Amino acid sequence: DDHPMIRALKERKIQNASANEHMNVICKDDTLVPINYVVTPLLEDGKVLGAVAVMQDVTEERRVDYIKSEFISLASHQLRTPLSTFQWYLELFSTDETAKEFTNIQKDSIREMERASKRMTDLIETLLHAARLEGGVISPKIQKVEIVGFLNDIASEFRSIAKDAQIPCSISIPQEPLEIETDPILLHVVLQNLFSNAVKYTKEGGKVSITLEKNKEAITISVKDTGMGIPKDEQPRIFERLFRARNVQTVDTGGSGLGLYISKMVAENMGGELSFVSEEGKGTTFTLALPVGRSGKEEKKV
């Protein structure tokens, strides 16, 4: 039922390959060729006559992406060693015995270096995480997760982030337990990215809320903010790697343009979907939908 041709016939909707979906065709010599596809159902008087599939060989695109990912991974690993040395000396300077030798201006400079060092560490870890996802090194480790308890457990972490930014945070979840099969670590990565973005791009006095809902087919977790919003003409690019909307580029948030890219990729790897609605100047709502049954995708072959 997950084949795009079957989906097009059943749902009577055009089916497109997602940006991070892996689908291959098997050639006569048994080699696998990666493809993008568009499947369009043929309708007449409300009846389905069939479907037309258009496929594109993306071998070269995949090769280039692999090279880029390898470069990012290698560069990130090489940056770790000198950064570790730098952080070690900063810790040495920050000890009570050493710090008393510094002036207030020097202490302020050290604190600024510590902040810059943390931003660099976070960026390197994000780059490595993206490279692992793109290389297929990270795959969902599926287990049963009681999602209501899971959200309650991480709620204090999110409230702490919001409190530091002086932004009220509300979390609305059902009282009764709700069990799904998913990867709790990857789920935490997505929710942490969405929540930190909501806080990061919401001014003091704004609000952030998290809502959990369930229907017959999926559970949805929504993260809503009253922040900057996303310009309408840039919304189609919001999940692209390294993309940052123009209205946030003037704000010193330390964003890398990788958080949403990674979140989208992780959501799809878990068999879910990440979507959003946004209005510039009014805020954004990101919604993660996960199937009630088993989450997680395997590479497809046709």
CATH number at residue 167: 3.30.565.10
- Is 69 a domain residue? no
Q: In terms of domains, do 40 and 124 share one?
A: no
Banded model confidence at residue 300, pLDDT cuts 50, 70, 90? very low
Output the pTM of the full model.
Answer: 0.64
Question: Among all chains, which residue has been given the structure tokens 């959990």?
Answer: 212
Whether the pLDDT of residue 64 is over 60: the answer is yes
Q: Are strands 283-291 and 218-225 parallel, antiparallel or unpaired?
A: antiparallel
Q: DSSP code of 22? A: -
Residues 65 and 134: beta-carbon distance below 8 Å: yes
Please give the Cα distance from 224 to 182 (Å, whole number): 23
Please give the Cα distance from 236 to 275 (Å, whole number): 11
Q: In terms of domains, do 147 and 293 share one?
A: yes
Q: In terms of domains, do 126 and 149 share one?
A: no
Residue 22 pLDDT: 67
- Is 62 a domain residue? no
Whether the pLDDT of residue 68 is over 80: the answer is no
Q: In terms of domains, do 233 and 167 share one?
A: yes
Q: In terms of domains, do 189 and 233 share one?
A: yes
Q: In terms of domains, do 178 and 241 share one?
A: yes
Whether the pLDDT of residue 219 is over 80: the answer is yes
- Is 71 a domain residue? no
Q: In terms of domains, do 39 and 86 share one?
A: no
Among the candidates 134, 156, 174, a domain finishes at 134
Domain limits for position 43: 4-57
- Is 63 a domain residue? no
Q: Cβ contacts of residue 218 below 8 Å, gap of 6+? A: 272, 289, 290, 291, 292
Q: In terms of domains, do 249 and 224 share one?
A: yes
Q: For residue 54, give the amino acid letter.
A: V
Question: Among all chains, which residue has been given the structure tokens 């770790």?
Answer: 80
Secondary structure (3-state) at 24 = strand
Q: In terms of domains, do 196 and 246 share one?
A: yes
Q: In terms of domains, do 159 and 285 share one?
A: yes
Residue 298 pLDDT: 46
User: In this structure, what CATH number is given to the domain that contains residue 53?
Assistant: 3.30.450.20
Residue 294 pLDDT: 57
Residue 255 pLDDT: 66
Mean pLDDT of 177-206: 88
Give pLDDT tens digits for 111-125: 888 878 887 787 777
Please give the Cα distance from 241 to 160 (Å, whole number): 28
Question: Among all chains, which residue has been given the structure tokens 């015995």?
Answer: 97
How many structural domains does the chain have? 3
Give pLDDT tens digits for 265-289: 888 888 899 999 999 999 999 999 9
Residues 207 and 226: beta-carbon distance below 8 Å: yes
- Is 119 a domain residue? yes
